[in-house]
Structure 1
Amino acid sequence: MTKLTKQACEACRADAPQVSNEEQQTLLQEIPGWSVIELDGEPQLKRAFKFRNFIEALAFANQVGDLAEAENHHPALLVEWGKVTVRWWTHKIGGLHRNDFIMAARTSELYEG
């Protein structure tokens, strides 16, 4: 399997299929540190990233924002002192698409530098 960070996101339609539970478990193994949560009835990928201060956290959030704009796929970001929490899911389908796992992998890659 191609590394998730090297895979292309595909345009998502409202009728695009969510990942199956089996595919979800396989893809989660490729993005250590991420977990699936349910919020407002929708499954989402979530991970908190730690930093030494607010400025570093904010800079990382801006990098994630640039990544999101480039793919036209946008996460929820919570920026706090020394921490950024990122949640990826596909709004159009109300759940998880392969794109979310690709973007989670790219987010981790930004963090790991």
Structure 2
Amino acid sequence: MFKALLAGALILTAILPAAAEEVGPGVGGRNYTSAEGYNAHVCTNESDGSLSVRTGPGKGNRKILELSNRTNISVLDRRNGRDGFVWFRVRKGEVTGWVRSDYICDGSLSFRGGD
């Protein structure tokens, strides 16, 4: 019994990194069929950091907006950029553009006064 469990764990360990690479960093695999997307937020390495929204998936595309850390957004789509990064098409208000997925975290943040 123990050998069977150990063998199963080893197989899963070998498979999971490959699946994680397909999903990419950030929010991970999602179904983008809804026109509304899903809720997420900007999560940079610095509390006062910001994230550039670009016209296309890649650093070579023009910046159209800067989003502050912890800003709520809608994620609409995903692409692999030529730069090797996974990019998300996002919407904030009336602006739609592309951001690197590794600076996006799942779920909206709600802010409560007095905390």
> Structure 1 length normalisation: TM-score?
0.30
Report which of the two structures shows the higher radius of gyration computed on alpha carbons: 2
Point out the structure with the larger helix share.
1
Q: State the TM-score, normalized to the length of structure 2.
A: 0.30
RCO higher in structure (CA 8 A, sep ≥6) = 1
More strand by percentage: 2
